[in-house]
């Protein structure tokens, strides 16, 4: 495995377990099986490492969502596929998902440029706009609807992991939540 990748993976895990400042760079290097200085060959500073992980994780998620967008004429189905994909990714990449949450509620958020995040949100906003234009969902600000769907997704995620559900129960809950969500915005 590539050393840079190994550092990112180890750091991700330790950051989620002990927090950003709670994790020493020396510990990351040690656990990743590289020398102290090697870490700084790849990332000039610790901050740069944190931000690099965030971008990497976000790309990972965005890639997954794009690949799993359902190509259908049925708008509801397309929305549903995105809702599903988001939750599927979150549940199968819990560490990465937790990292994103931790990052978003930390002072590090300010260190990232809006453009990076915006470009990943854009496809979703466009999808919602399409739904509004076709009169399939309520005429409300797109980013308001996006905000609601996002937080709903997060809410279900929290609920599911707190319950230690089986795959079947997870499936039912997600299905149920989407129907509620759809009733709300349609």
Partner DNA sequence: ATTTTGATTGACTAATCAGTCGCAAATATA
Partner DNA sequence: TATATTTGCGACTGATTAGTCAATCAAAAT
Say which DSSP state 108 is in: G
Compare residues 25 and 81 and give the one whose CB is closer to DNA.
25
- Interaction of residue 122 with DNA, rule CB under 7 A: no
According to CB under 7 A, which one of 23, 86, 170, 177 is a site residue for DNA?
23
112 binds, among a copy of itself, DNA, none (CB under 5 to 8 A by kind): none
- Interaction of residue 105 with a copy of itself, rule CB under 8 A: yes
- What lies within 8 Å, CB to CB, of 43 at 6+ separation is 7, 49, 52
- Interaction of residue 48 with a copy of itself, rule CB under 8 A: no
- What lies within 8 Å, CB to CB, of 135 at 6+ separation is none
Minimum CB–partner distance for residue 126 and a copy of itself (Å):
18
User: Applying CB under 8 A, what is the total number of residues that bind a copy of itself?
Assistant: 37
Stretch of residues binding DNA (CB under 7 A), selected from 34-42, 73-81, 87-95, 138-146: 34-42
Minimum CB–partner distance for residue 32 and DNA (Å):
9
- Whether the Cβ atoms of residue 82 and residue 65 lie closer than 8 Å to each other: yes
- Interaction of residue 159 with a copy of itself, rule CB under 8 A: yes
The DSSP string of 32-76 is: HTS-HHHHHHH-SSHHHHHHHHHHHHHHHHHHHHHHT----S-HH
17 binds, among a copy of itself, DNA, none (CB under 5 to 8 A by kind): a copy of itself
- Whether the Cβ atoms of residue 49 and residue 39 lie closer than 8 Å to each other: yes
- Build a one-symbol-per-residue string for 38-77: x at contacts with DNA by CB under 7 A, - elsewhere: x-xxx-xxxx------------------------------
How far apart CA 143 and CA 128 sit, in angstroms, is: 9
151 binds, among DNA, a copy of itself, none (CB under 5 to 8 A by kind): a copy of itself
Phi-psi region of 164 (alpha: psi -120 to 50; beta: other; left: phi over 0): left
- Whether the Cβ atoms of residue 49 and residue 110 lie closer than 8 Å to each other: no
Stretch of residues binding a copy of itself (CB under 8 A), selected from 1-9, 20-28, 70-78, 119-127: 20-28
């Amino acid at each position: 495995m590539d050393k840079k990748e190994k550092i990112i993976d180890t750091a991700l895990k330790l950051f989620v377990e002990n927090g950003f400042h709670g994790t020493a760079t020396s510990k990351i290097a040690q656990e990743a099986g590289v020398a102290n200085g090697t870490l700084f060959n790849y990332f000039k500073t610790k901050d740069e490492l944190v931000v690099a992980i965030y971008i990497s994780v976000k790309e990972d998620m965005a890639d997954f969502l794009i690949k799993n967008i359902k190509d259908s004429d049925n708008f509801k189905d397309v929305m549903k596929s995105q809702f599903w994909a988001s939750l599927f990714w979150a549940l199968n990449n819990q560490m990465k998902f937790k990292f994103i949450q931790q990052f978003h509620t930390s002072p590090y958020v300010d260190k990232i440029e809006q453009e990076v995040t915006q470009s990943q949100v854009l496809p979703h906003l466009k999808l919602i706009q399409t739904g509004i234009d076709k009169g399939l969902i309520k005429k409300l600000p797109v980013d308001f609807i996006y905000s609601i769907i996002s937080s709903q997704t997060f809410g279900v995620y929290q609920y599911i992991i707190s319950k230690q559900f089986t795959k079947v129960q997870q499936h039912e809950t997600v299905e149920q939540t989407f129907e509620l969500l759809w009733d709300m915005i349609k």
